[in-house]
Amino acid sequence: MTIVVLDGYAMNPGDLSWSTLQSFGPCAIYDRTSESEILDRAKNAVMILTNKVPLTKETLAQLPRLKYIGVTATGYNIVDIAAAHAQNITVTNVPAYSTHSVAQLVFALLLELTHHTGHHSHAVRSGRWSANSDFSFWDFPLTELAGKTFGIIGYGNIGKAVAKIALAFEMKVLVSSRSSRTQPVDALITSQLSPPFEIIDTDSLLRRSDIVSLHCALTKETDRLINTQRLTLMKPSALLINTGRGRLVDEAALADALNNGRLAGAGLDVLATEPPPKENPLLSAKNCIITPHFAWASEAARLRLLTVVINNIRSYIAGDPQNVIS
């Protein structure tokens, strides 16, 4: 049974061990694979692991030995699921491995936007505090989070984790989510919220929130959910956080709103095209913090990811596949 890892570097750049995976049989591990290299590298594969390398209908048709695809991520749009099903290929993913790490980065971005810690640290190191006439200085308004309204669009595992942290900052929490309209609100959240937890429509959430954090899936309905029209609903003092999917946001519209003072700031870990082209307007937008899609990538999260990837394979071999999406 030959296992081929097409793009293992993101999950394991060298600080984790592949030994358990290699114990299943012959294993070829590639840091990265271009689309032109897929067929040559995977032609003998019974199992393939992929994170971002696409497996299209045309590619799958040329891999007759393939029986299993393990997506080393939660999102699985890089695999043609219908084609895999037609070829009797089992496809699995890894849900909920990065919940805590992503929620943590939401607030790292938010705290940077509200206190500009990096800027002020640089100012101190450059000698400005030493030369200052007063014991204290700041270059931006410093914003206290307690009492602010925190809007969450998408109330899955990460949305729930973010809500709990927002409560610790004594913020009011609003939620807009298709699933939360029909499912009971998490008991822990309900018991801690005052005033009562509110589930409202997206437009109302945008109007009322001081901070909006995006955690919904990317679908036809949510593609560019935050667009010119929606941005006009938000307070000029509001902040937007996106650690979900880049295409949830119309990037040109967001850059325009930031540059013209219609939105106070944005913290983004994802963009529509990654890595971004140099002409992406957000790279030069005012008060826009961008991190390189690494919310998921803490060592703890990647270890959980690798552990579930291996357990998915083990379960498949045992005839009881888990986390199946095909």
Which fold is adopted by the domain 99-290?
Rossmann fold (3.40.50)
Q: Into which CATH architecture does domain 3-97+299-317 fall? A: 3-Layer(aba) Sandwich (3.40)
Residue 177 is predicted with a pLDDT of 83
Tokens at 99, concatenated: 């919940």
Q: Which of 37, 144, 274, 299 is catalytic?
A: 274
| DSSP for 137-156, written as a single string | --SS-----TT-EEEEE--S
Cβ atoms of 41 and 6 within 8 Å: the answer is yes
* List of the chain residues with pLDDT < 70: 179-196
Sheet of 211-214: strand order equals 198-199, 172-176, 149-153, 211-214, 239-242, 265-268, 288-290
Instruction: Decide if 293 is catalytic.
Output: yes
Residue 210 is predicted with a pLDDT of 98
The counts of H helices and E strands in the chain are: 12, 12
Q: Which of 143, 181, 189, 142 is nearest to 165 (CA)?
A: 189
Do domains 3-97+299-317 and 99-290 share one topology? The answer is yes
Q: Which of 41, 178, 293, 314 is catalytic?
A: 293
Q: Which of 116, 208, 230, 245 is catalytic?
A: 245
Residue 186 is predicted with a pLDDT of 54
Cβ atoms of 285 and 259 within 8 Å: the answer is yes
Q: State how beta strands 265-268 and 90-92 pair.
A: unpaired
Distance of alpha carbon 103 from alpha carbon 105, whole angstroms? 5
Ordered by start, the domain boundaries in the chain are 3-97+299-317, 99-290
Instruction: Decide if 245 is catalytic.
Output: yes
Q: State the CB neighbour count (10 A cutoff) for residue 119.
A: 13
Kindly report whether the global pTM for this prediction surpasses the value 0.85.
yes
Cβ atoms of 255 and 236 within 8 Å: the answer is no
